[in-house]
C-alpha cells in the first residue's frame, strides 16, 4: 500500500491546521493496520511537546521587556 506517504503527511499537517473529516477517517482507518505510521504519530507528538517546552522557556525573555 502506498498510503503511508499520505498518512504521515496528514499527521504532520494536523499539528499546523485542522484536518477535514475525510482526512481524519483516512488516518483512523490506516493507523490500526500500520505500526510504522503509529510510530510516526508518536514521534511527532513528542516533537510537538518538546517544541512547546522550548517556546515556553524562551517566551519570558521576549515577553517581559514590554512592561
Q: Is the distance from CB of 8 to CB of 40 less than 8 angstroms?
A: yes
- Work out whether 4 is an interface residue with Zn ion (CB under 5 A): yes
Please state, as a whole number, how many other Cβ atoms lie within 10 Å of the Cβ of residue 6.
15
* Residue 54 engages Zn ion in binding (rule: CB under 5 A): no
Least distance CB 50 / Zn ion (angstroms)? 23
- Stretch in the footprint of Zn ion (CB under 5 A) among 2-10, 15-23, 42-50, 59-67: 2-10
Residue nearest to Zn ion (CB): 34
Q: Any contact of residue 34 with Zn ion (CB under 5 A)?
A: yes
Helix/strand/coil (H, E, C) string of 30-47? Answer: HHHHCHHHHHHHHHHHHH
DSSP assignment letter at 9: H
User: Contact residues for Zn ion (CB under 5 A)?
Assistant: 4, 34, 36-37
Amino acid at each position: 500500500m502506498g498510503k503511508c506517504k499520505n498518512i504521515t503527511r496528514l499527521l504532520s499537517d494536523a499539528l499546523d491546521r485542522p484536518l477535514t473529516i475525510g482526512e481524519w477517517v483516512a488516518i483512523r482507518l490506516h493507523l490500526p493496520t500500520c505500526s510504522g505510521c503509529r510510530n510516526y504519530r508518536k514521534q511527532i507528538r513528542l516533537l510537538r511537546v518538546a517544541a512547546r517546552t522550548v517556546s515556553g522557556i524562551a517566551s519570558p525573555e521576549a515577553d517581559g521587556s514590554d512592561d
